[in-house]
Chain A
Amino acid sequence: MSKLIVVTRHGTKISLDGRPGLSIMEHIRSAGVDELLAICGGCCSCATCHVYLDTQGPACGRAMSTDETELLESSTHRRPNSRLSCQIPFSEELDGLTVTIAPEDQ
């Protein structure tokens, strides 16, 4: 079983079973990590599922859309490795990926 590692804002590391086809956001939310709000439910209409990708881990296949880039611009916590987790479908190639939940925007 492939794994996805999630690091919460408090630094807790959670290992989740990867479910191909579901987004990283859906993995985090269904694990009950409630600090990831994901208010729009995954349709790339807000920026409340912001995570940082571990740059040492596997590269995410799906490139960022303009919408995603622009929504991330709204975050004061944007970094080069920022992504909206609803926009990354999990796949076997992402086995071992670590994502860290970005701080909440006020």
Chain B
Amino acid sequence: MDHYDCLIVGSGHGGSQAAIALRQHKFSGTIGLLGDEKELPYERPPLSKEYLAGEKPFERILIGSPEVWRSRNVTLLPGHRVEAIGSDAHVVVCDDGASFSYTHLIWAGGGTPRTLDCAGRDLKGVYSIRTRADIDEIARALPAVRRITVVGGGYIGLEAAAVLTKLGKQVTVLEAMDRVLARVAGEALSRFLEAEHRAHGVQICLGACVESVQGKDGVVTGVRLSDGGMIDAEMVIVGIGIVPSIGPLIAAGAAGDNGVDVDEFCRTSLPDIFAIGDCARHPSRFADGAPIRLESVQNATDQAMVVAKVIAGRAEPYASVPWFWSNQYDIRLQTVGLSRGHDQAIVRGDRATRKFSIVYLRNGRVLALDCVNATKDYVEGRALVAGRLSPPVHQLADATVPLKLLASGTNPDAAPRRLSTSADMPPAQAC
């Protein structure tokens, strides 16, 4: 059985960055980077954007060539899926029978795409977007496809819809809630993006629940809605979130359910086992200390650095400001902070100009900003989020007032106040 001083399970952004960061922090032990895909580690955000569009070949989204991984002195262990963890013995066992022992284990398992829970979900022509293999399959099938139904109006679904409609496909997006991005953004952004997609020819169906996927001879022909409606399609792409991949950790006794629980140093409840990225449920000061999972490259990367520092003996708690981006058509969306739990959403700028921001507040304090083609607000708004500042609402709403003036502290109304605690918070309301 091979031993690694640090074994990393999951070779996505979090796992790869953990390996890199360990070396940057002079970790001199052996590092194994294990992943269930056969590929070299690669970036995932381009999958639903440039890679799907055929604008970037796979080589350009790699996180290092084989030579670079050798120079990092990291052993890649592709094509293994961990099935069990022996936390006392410090061993993992894989589905192919391989087993590895470790001193430190970093679990960066990410998640698997949530699948539809209805008849026809396994028909040929039903796809997810999570891996290179998913996109390659979609790309192979595309030439014979005219109509595509995307199930789920989240970021993945909307990005795919934008690319596919630009490729000349007739795209329908089905969203079960009454607006797209309902779980992650305020209504103003939802409505703006719905209008943009519609202007590009995408049909957006809200409150649309899938009853079944229809097919003929094992091949998808469309989607039937619970109201009886039928959407014809030769391809169905399901983008309804992920299920965190934490089974072996939970089976080994780690605390958690929707995500494995970690502390501010990304430590699980099991000895010498850390977890990072999409699958790690961590206490966040940007959610009033509540345990949350964040599915973002920023979170995966920054948590990887937290763990590398802990292992290198320079522990610092995870405190990074969350940020996120999405590109659809010529729309550049940049988000800083977490808007969940906001009780007020202020639109800054004119939506008709396609350049505006939404500032999310709770109890008068800035939680987050969604910035549409408004990079300046994104950059300058970060200080408002980091300090949980409370600038006057009329100034936030005035796009001619630079946010950096409101964050500078020279404005008496914008002076930093203490961080909120959940005790003095009213119940959350939708905006």
Mark A residues whose CB is within 8 Å of B: 22, 26, 29-32, 34-35, 37, 39-41, 43-46, 66-67, 70-71, 73-74
In this complex, the member of B24, B45, B72 whose beta carbon has the largest number of chain A beta carbons within 10 angstroms is B45
The A-contacting residues of B in range 372-431, CB under 8 angstroms, are: 375-376, 378-380, 382
- Verify A34–B72 contact, CB threshold 8 A: yes
- Enumerate chain A residues within 8 angstroms of B269, measured Cβ to Cβ: none
- Verify B379–A30 contact, CB threshold 8 A: no
Could you write out 28 A-B pairs with CB less than 8 Å apart?
A: A26-B60, A29-B64, A30-B62, A30-B65, A30-B68, A32-B64, A32-B67, A32-B68, A34-B20, A34-B24, A34-B72, A35-B24, A39-B301, A40-B45, A40-B325, A41-B45, A41-B61, A43-B45, A43-B49, A43-B327, A45-B332, A45-B334, A46-B323, A70-B376, A70-B378, A71-B379, A73-B379, A74-B379
Q: Is B297 interfacial (CB 8 A cutoff)?
A: yes
12 more CB-based (< 8 A) A-B contacts, given A29-B64, A34-B72: A32-B72, A34-B23, A34-B24, A41-B45, A41-B46, A43-B50, A44-B332, A45-B334, A46-B323, A46-B325, A67-B332, A70-B376
- Enumerate chain B residues within 8 angstroms of A45, measured Cβ to Cβ: 325, 327, 332, 334
Nearest-neighbor residue (CB-CB) of A41 within chain B: B43
Which of B65, B68, B301, B325 touches A43 (beta carbons < 8 Å)?
B325
Nearest 10 CB-CB pairings of A with B: A45-B325, A32-B68, A70-B375, A74-B379, A70-B376, A67-B375, A34-B20, A41-B43, A32-B71, A70-B379
- Enumerate chain B residues within 8 angstroms of A35, measured Cβ to Cβ: 24
- Enumerate chain B residues within 8 angstroms of A22, measured Cβ to Cβ: 60
Interface size of B in residues (CB-CB distance below 8 Å)? 31
CB distance from B369 to the nearest CB of A (A): 13
- Verify B298–A39 contact, CB threshold 8 A: yes
Cα–Cα, bound, A87→B240 (Å): 33
Do most interface residues of chain B lie in helix, strand or loop, or is the interface mixed? helix
Mark B residues whose CB is within 8 Å of A: 20, 23-24, 43, 45-46, 49-50, 60-62, 64-65, 67-68, 71-72, 297-298, 301, 323, 325, 327, 332, 334, 375-376, 378-380, 382
- Enumerate chain A residues within 8 angstroms of B46, measured Cβ to Cβ: 41
- Verify A73–B376 contact, CB threshold 8 A: yes
Nearest-neighbor residue (CB-CB) of B374 within chain A: A70
Cα–Cα, bound, A101→B38 (Å): 33
Nearest-neighbor residue (CB-CB) of B326 within chain A: A45
Cα–Cα, bound, A41→B49 (Å): 12
Cα–Cα, bound, A72→B68 (Å): 28
- Enumerate chain B residues within 8 angstroms of A34, measured Cβ to Cβ: 20, 23-24, 72
CB distance from B430 to the nearest CB of A (A): 27
- Enumerate chain A residues within 8 angstroms of B64, measured Cβ to Cβ: 29-30, 32
- Enumerate chain A residues within 8 angstroms of B323, measured Cβ to Cβ: 46
Cα–Cα, bound, A37→B304 (Å): 13
Cα–Cα, bound, A73→B382 (Å): 12
CB distance from A4 to the nearest CB of B (A): 16
Which of A26, A30, A31, A71 touches B375 (beta carbons < 8 Å)?
A71
Cα–Cα, bound, A75→B375 (Å): 14
